[in-house]
Copies of this chain bind each other. A is one copy, B any other.
Amino acid sequence: MSAKEQKLHLNAFLYGTGHHEASWRYPDAKPELGLDIRYSQQLAQTAERGLMDSVFLADGYAGRSNKLEPFTQLAALAMVTEYIGLIATVGTTYNEPFHVARKFASLDHISGGRAGWNIVTGAQSAAFNFSRDEHPEHSDRYHDAEEFVEITKRLWDSWEDDALVFDKNAGIQFDNGKVHEINFKGSYYSVKGPLNIPRPPQGYPVLVQAGSSESGKELAAKTAEVIFTAHQTMEGASSFYTDVKSRLAKYGRTPDQLKILPGFSPILADTEAEAREIDEELNGLTATEEAVKRLSLRFGVDLTQYPIDGPVPLHAALETEEVNGHKSRHQLIVELARNEQLTIRQLVNRLAGARGHFTFTGTPIQAADAIEKWFRNGAADGFNIMPQLLPSGLDIFVNKVIPELQNRGLFRTAYEGRTLRENLGLVRPSNIRAAISNQI
């Protein structure tokens, strides 16, 4: 690896008052700012001050939530930042490729090339908000998603990069020979095109993927440039890393074309004792009963019928194959309970910090140690930073962990470029249509 390739990539996963499910009850927390754009602007500016690659907003289309919609929110964040990438989850199952391709193109133009798309298929509960009787099966959703992404790429490519002419004398705004219909007819969608906005500055937004099931890994190997993934141990992360990177070759891709960023969900304080105190306080604030009910839904078994300080009744839980959605997370949780022989209460507390992502409690130096260890042992190209408390957890990470990583030569001391692709070290994709035109 060259010196440049040895740098970490760091994403800041913004998530209300923090990733710990009880974070909103913490004394400092201001959950009433969930819809206040100034709150997330400050978080994005903090992450940019730390030279982080990107901020990320998760999303879904059902349930009660107290947060803004990602496209509108990220466009607003673009106005108060200059370098940091802006990644949004957008699901494929209940959207149209034309709308999604266009909104990402617009966000990419507005931000000067900083958009990223976390591609998910979507959750079961959304079906009923979109006139559907049922949620499609896992593999069906993945085939749909594959076609969906293919269409968006063709739409972004429907404008060649030099299609805009603006020749006032000749009266020509667009070179019509460089704006193409795509005439896509697939199993799920047919889309004529062209897109009604010119090609994004980055060519395509950076394509991110978060599913880690078998189909998720395969789709990622084929199309993703960044993976957000959840692992409880360095060994698990490392074997996932090796597995996914080894799948790239068959799609003609090299390992550096895909950055794997496991979740890293810290509670940080100047001393270990202080950090542990925060952790205990947060666990004390966790609504255990509610969490047991949620876990019951995931496992398909009513856990309230079992003693909370007894073992997790894994024999009664659904098999991963029976689950439609969040398959890999299901598997991770089952393995966590089995490998560490957890009680129901212990499992609930382990999941409260970051829903199955790797949690960490300690000092900034210890956090840097953990990050360096995973990175040097081939378990990660960087991390998806998920502070259990926000904004304080991001402040400490940027003020104390990042300088330590910089001192160790593991993280940038200035942005490499202005676009997210440039900072992630990803090439701008060439235009398929332009390549075809040139052959003719």
Contact = CB atoms under 8 A, between A and B. Distances in A.
A75 interface: yes
Contacts of A129: 98, 191-193
Nearest to A192: B128
A286 to B, nearest CB: 9
A323 interface: no
A309 interface: no
A256 to B, nearest CB: 30
Contacts of A74: 72
A190 interface: yes
A99 interface: yes
Contact of A64 (B79, B99, B174, B192): B174
Interface in A160-207: 164, 166, 168, 171, 173-174, 176, 179, 188-194, 196-198
A110 B32 contact: no
Interface string A58-69: 001111111111
A405 B99 CA distance: 41
B103 A99 contact: no
A432 interface: no
B73 A76 contact: no
A32 B98 contact: no
Contact of A35 (B66, B198, B285): B198
A190 B109 CA distance: 35
Interface in A104-145: 105-107, 109-110, 128-131
19 contacts: A24-B166, A31-B166, A31-B173, A32-B164, A32-B166, A37-B110, A63-B196, A65-B197, A66-B173, A67-B197, A72-B103, A79-B80, A94-B96, A128-B190, A129-B191, A129-B192, A129-B193, A131-B188, A171-B285
